[in-house]
Amino acid sequence: MKRYHNILCPTNFSDYCNLAIERAMDLAEQYGASLTLLHVIDYFPEEIPNDMIGPEDEDPKKYLERRAGETLHQLAASLGLKDIRLETRFSSRSAKHEISHFAEEISADLIVLASHAQHGITALLGSTAGGVIHIAPCDVLVVRAGQ
């Protein structure tokens, strides 16, 4: 069986992603692998929750980056994660492209990500997980919602 050395786990901070992070943590511990948590921010996303809109006197990009960094640190601390890499990336492309590009950049040999079990037109057009499966430079483990 292949040994993994560098595991990437993207998150959008949802409960589904937390399940994937737990699976990635287990695998990293089992293989003695490094673990990187990644959060991708659409550069000026169109649909942004009100609590993510920054103050008028702060650069929106820096505000989103700071908030994402703080949330990544809080998440890592709540899960007891130490000695892991936390990364926030802005992308003008889709998250699936940024995740795959970042995986190649850090020489990840496994991406662990969540599937939100989408149905209907979203499932037909493809989800982030589905897109990553098709373009990733390495193995991909998809943790299904509710599993």
Q: Over the range 55-69, which residues count as b (16 or more CB within 10 Å of their CB) and which as e?
A: eeeeeeeeebbebbe
- Calpha distance 44→131 (Å, rounded): 21
Strand order across the beta sheet in which 34-42 lies:
85-91, 34-42, 6-10, 110-115, 139-144
pTM reported for the whole predicted model: 0.80
Domains of the chain with CATH codes: 6-144 (3.40.50.620)
Structure tokens, 104: 């190649």
- Calpha distance 64→41 (Å, rounded): 8
User: Tens place of pLDDT for every residue, the chain, 147 residues?
Assistant: 678 999 999 998 888 888 899 999 999 999 999 999 999 987 655 555 545 555 666 676 787 788 888 888 888 888 887 778 888 888 777 888 999 999 999 999 999 998 875 554 444 445 788 888 889 999 999 988 765
